[in-house]
Amino acid sequence: MTKEAIKLFSQAHAEPAWLSNLRQAAFEKIDTLDLPKIERVKFHRWNLGDGSITESEATSNVPDFTALGDNPKLVQVGTQTVFEQLSPELAEAGVIFTDFYTALEEIPEVMEQYFTKAVAHDEDKLAAYHTAYFNSGAVLYVPDNVEIKVPVEGIFYQDSESDVPFNKHVLVITGKNAKLDYLERFESIGDGSKQATANITVEVIAGAGSQIKFAAIDRLGQHVTTYMSRRGSLANNASIDWAIGVMNEGNVIADFDSDLYGDGSHADMKVVALSSGKQVQGIDTRVTNYGRNSTGNILQYGVILEKGTLTFNGIGHIIKGAKGADAQQESRVLMLSDKARSDANPILLIDENDVTAGHAASIGQVDPEDMYYLMSRGLDKATAERLVVRGFLGAVITEIPVKEVRNEMIDGIEEKLSKR
């Protein structure tokens, strides 16, 4: 019945044969594949999908967009697109920023070429599940030599009053020497608390010489159990500068990966995460160096409140033949409770001799002297802790190139701290 439901969904959306067949192939693989391995995180009993493929109904629970600027923008609530904005100049230059099914009509060959190129449908059980069951998505395509001088925003809302699975696929494709800033938000809205699952894949295909600044803020609700996969595939001399704020309220496992296939390719991965309540978050951040003289840097900072759990796995893998490659990583975790739990695991896999690699990791609590100093100046404990957290995470936040994203990330931190 499930396989038939997938087939009917494909037919209802007039999916091309290659996509319909890929869904069926992925479905057949689900039971034969293992779950992805997130070191030291026990998520095997989590509900990460109920085997349904449905769509959201039209909703009045739509945020106010009157304050939005003129930059390119796409907004979706559940599976429905509620707002699109792209200037005539960018459209004439060949830029496309639209929902998944419109992109299938406008750039069919590009979609067939790049869909699941970064994350293969048979990579693991959750990747196969996603390919079979994803029910909506968005596509940003930037042709060769096009520079977008204003930030491009993708905003994806999960309706807390809906139990429709939030299985979304985002595909960002840049041609040779393209340049852009992309801002992405995943957020729950509404006053509901229906239990829901999210299986989200974001593929970023960076063409030769392209430059991408990718900033994301994740703020899904406590009622959502989430698997998040973001991965970049980089050609020669391409670069992706990642800045990701993990501010969810529910349980989360995440893969943030960069595959440096091209010679001279470069990826900086900056991740900020907060865990609170009894929340469990496990984050794998990986850079794999395939190309010669490729460079990958990982910087992860996390804060844990109450009985929360946060695990950072930093993985640097230099493949045989990647001469001159450089892989560096740093993970730091600050615990604000004796009942918090954390791991920061540096993992280096080196298969080549002529390379540079290094790592650093630490886990600790707030320095009592810092707290004493701040409280002796008249601050209450909660305010003092917020300042300590802001200072601790500042090492990552100040590296984020877009001011608006920095401010929004700070607001998210403040909001989460205020709920204690």
Amino acid at 160: S
Q: What is the pLDDT of residue 407?
A: 85
- Neighbouring C-alpha atoms within 13 Å toward the C-beta of 110: 23
Q: Which residue blocks in 45-164 are alpha helix, DSSP H?
A: 88-92, 100-106, 108-114, 125-133
CA–CA separation, 49 vs 311, rounded Å? 22
The angle, 0 to 180 degrees and rounded to 10, between the axes of the packed helices 381-397 and 403-418 is 150
CB atoms within 10 A of CB 125: 18
Confidence class of residue 378 from pLDDT cuts 50, 70 and 90?
very high
Over the chain, what is the mean pLDDT? 94
Cβ within 8 Å of residue 149, ≥6 positions away = none
Please determine, for residue 68, whether its predicted confidence score (pLDDT) is greater than 70: no
> What backbone phi and psi angles, to 5 degrees, belong to 40?
65, 25
Alpha carbon separation from 199 to 52, 273, 328, 338, 364 (Å, rounded): 12, 19, 29, 32, 32
Mean pLDDT confidence for 297-311: 95
Tell me the domain boundaries of the chain.
2-366
> What backbone phi and psi angles, to 5 degrees, belong to 140?
-120, 120
Please determine, for residue 381, whether its predicted confidence score (pLDDT) is greater than 90: no
CA–CA separation, 249 vs 71, rounded Å? 29
Q: What is the model's pTM? A: 0.96
Burial label for 48, CB within 10 Å (0-12, 13-18, 19+), is buried
Q: What is the pLDDT of residue 3?
A: 93
Please determine, for residue 23, whether its predicted confidence score (pLDDT) is greater than 90: yes
CA–CA separation, 384 vs 390, rounded Å? 10
